[in-house]
Amino acid sequence: MAIVSAKEMLFKASKQKYAVGAFNITSLVQMEAIIEAAVEKNTPVIIQTSVTPTKFLKAEVVVAIFKALAQSVNIPVCLHLDHCTDVEFCKKCADLGYTNIMFDGSHLNFEENVKRTREVSDYCHQIGDISVEGELGTVSGVEDQIKVAEDDAQLCDPDKSLEFVERSGIDLFGPAIGTAHGIYQTENPVIDFERLGKIFQKLNQPLIQTPLVVHGGTGLSEPVVRNLIEKGGAKYNVSTNLKYILMDSTFEYISAHPKEYDPGKMDKHVKMATKQRIEYWIDLLGSTGMAM
């Protein structure tokens, strides 16, 4: 029950109008905190690694620790490779045991994006129950050192979304709708809810077929988050917020205990801070109690 692919988990979320938190990690303390918080909240959850931390930690190590943690709990948990632009690395992570793979071809032209995403989809579907996420349009901001300026970002064309999904063979779809990775430069970012709603209608009416992913989850107000879920967002990505919690809580601990030199105590403090924040997100996304 514990380790699943995201598709099924997100079908239920799409139908019942809540979102599953997809949390990016850069350290294993964060992975433990997320799983513990999800168990306490009895929620499904997705752990994500972008390419740089996956390579730094080593994909084999991430998968081994993920399996050890996830197999011992009774909630559905996924391991997702986030924003990978390299087809071969996608395949490698699928081989090693990631349950979801995102091929990010949003920087490519439409045909090339379809072609490379299709290669990843076919590979993942052939080797097992592995979901594939694709993106159309570009999300601005910085994710994993990849910077997309606001003027370069283009929103996803709803009329193209169905063609993209059908031809690329993906299971989950991340349309660009005005959200951005990193910290928003303005207090009221312009989010195109109507566009998200239209894409949801095209892909998921009358039957849920391709759950939608919201990228750029940090820094949006609670009403905005609820509206994104109402319009069809079923996987909600949070990265930057967790990086801030990790670094701020580390700094806080060291500043308060400058002479202690006991990293275990510092890890415990960071884990608690991360866990509290994950619990906040789980409640906001409405997935509390939805594990079964």
- Asked if 211 contacts 234 with a C-beta cutoff of 8 angstroms, the reply is yes
Instruction: Establish if 143 lies at the interface with ligand 13P (CB under 6 A).
Output: yes
Which residues are bridge partners to 61 per DSSP?
Answer: none
Instruction: Establish if 204 lies at the interface with ligand 13P (CB under 6 A).
Output: no
Instruction: Establish if 100 lies at the interface with ligand 13P (CB under 6 A).
Output: no
Q: Which of 72, 63, 183, 164 is nearest to 118 (CA)?
A: 164
Binder to ligand 13P among 239, 249, 274, 287 (CB under 6 A)?
239
Instruction: Establish if 218 lies at the interface with ligand 13P (CB under 6 A).
Output: yes
Instruction: Establish if 30 lies at the interface with ligand 13P (CB under 6 A).
Output: no
Binder to ligand 13P among 76, 137, 175, 217 (CB under 6 A)?
217
Contacts of 200 (CB under 8 A, 6+ apart): 212, 231, 232
Stretch in the footprint of ligand 13P (CB under 6 A) among 67-75, 163-171, 215-223, 256-264: 215-223
Residue type (1 letter), 178: G
Which residues are bridge partners to 213 per DSSP?
Answer: 235
Residue type (1 letter), 51: V
CA pair distance 119, 75, nearest whole angstrom:
31
CA pair distance 255, 286, nearest whole angstrom:
35
Stretch in the footprint of ligand 13P (CB under 6 A) among 36-44, 149-157, 235-243, 278-286: 235-243
C-alpha distance from residue 26 to each of 6, 14, 23, 42 (Å): 20, 28, 10, 24
- Asked if 235 contacts 171 with a C-beta cutoff of 8 angstroms, the reply is no
CB of 212 to ligand 13P, least distance (A): 13
CB of 3 to ligand 13P, least distance (A): 21
Is residue 82 part of the annotated active site? The answer reads yes
Tell me whether residue 5 or residue 106 sits nearer to ligand 13P (CB atom): 106
Instruction: Establish if 182 lies at the interface with ligand 13P (CB under 6 A).
Output: yes
Catalytically active residues are 82
Residues at the site binding ligand 13P, with contacts judged by CB under 6 A: 24, 82-83, 143, 181-182, 215-218, 237-241
